[in-house]
Amino acid sequence: MIKAQVWDSRRCWVGEGPAATGIDNNDVTWVDILNGKILFKNLSTDKTSEHVLGEDVGFAIPRTKGGHVVGTNSGPSLLGEDGTLHSLPNRLSADGKPDPVPTRWNDAKISPTGDLWLGTLAYNNEPGLSALYKMDRHGKSLTRILDGVTCSNGIDWTDDGKTMYYVDTMTGNIDAFDYDGNDISNRRAMVSIPEDDGYPDGICMDAEGGLWVAFWGSGQVRRFDEKFNVTEIIEMPSKFVTSCVFAGPNLDQLIITSAHNGDPDVKNEAGMTCIATPGVRGRTTTLYPL
C-alpha cells in the first residue's frame, strides 16, 4: 500500500485529465471541470499558473504545436498559446441534432495514431444518454462511435496499439476493445467492480503493461496487471479520485487528480492534486498532432 501526498493544494470541484509534457515531462496540466479552468504546475520548479476558459471544460490535452485541444461545452476547440480559441466540429455536426439533455464533455485521450477520443456526460447523470466520439487527427470530422453511455471516462491503449481500454463509470466495468488504428470492435468487460468498492474513473498505462485506475468514492488508485489482478493500491487523502498520469524525467512519479464535488463534509484535501512514487515507470503523454 502506497500513500499519496498532496502536491498541489488548489482545490478542484472536479479535477480531471492530467497530462505531463515539456522538458523531462515536468510540465503537468489538468482541468477543474466545473470551474472552467486549466491548471499548470512544473514538477521541477513548483511554478504554478492557470487559464480560465469561462465555461466548463472536460479535458485539455497538449498539442504538438503548442496550446491544447479543449473540451469546452461549445467545443471541442483548439486553444492557442495566446489564449485564442479555434472551433472544431462539435456534437451537433456529428449527431445532426442537439443533445437530448444538457451535456458536457468529460474525459478524453489521444490514440496512438493521433486521433482524439472523447466522451460525454449528462449533467443530470441520466443513464444511456451520453456517447463516445472520435475527432480525426486533422481536426476535420467528429464521429459518434459508441451510444448508450452514461459517464464516458478513462481511455488508453496497450503498447502494441491493438487494444483500447475504456471506462463507462456507472457500469462498474473496465472494458476492452480490439483497435485497428481507426475503429474499435469486440467489446468485453475485463473486470467488474462491486458498487461498494468505488467507481472506475480515469486511467493510464505504465511501461510494464499495468493499468492504473482512479476509483471515485473509494479514495484509491489501483494497478491491474495484464490478467486484471490488482497488484498495487495507492491511498489518497480524498475519496473522490478522478485520474492519473506519469510525470518527471524518469516517468516514475504518478500525478493524481481528485474532486471535492461540492461535499461540505469531505476532508480539506479533497479536490487537491497528489503525487506518489509507484515503483514502475509510465509512458509519455500522447499529444494532439495539430
Residues noted as catalytic: 201
Q: Encode burial over 14-42: b for 16+ CB neighbours within 10 A, e otherwise.
A: bbbbbbbbbeebbbbbbbbbbbbbbbbbb
Contacts for 229 with CB less than 8 Å, ≥ 6 apart? none
Amino acid occupying residue 125: N
Distance of CA 266 to the CA centre of its chain: 22
User: Do residues 119 and 133 touch, judged by C-beta distance below 8 A?
Assistant: yes
Q: Which grid coordinates are listed for 136?
A: 480525426
Buried residues in 61-99 as b, exposed as e (16+ CB within 10 A) = bbbeeebbbbbbbebbbbbeeeeebeebbbbeebeeeeb
The x, y and z cell numbers of residue 181, run together, are: 488504428
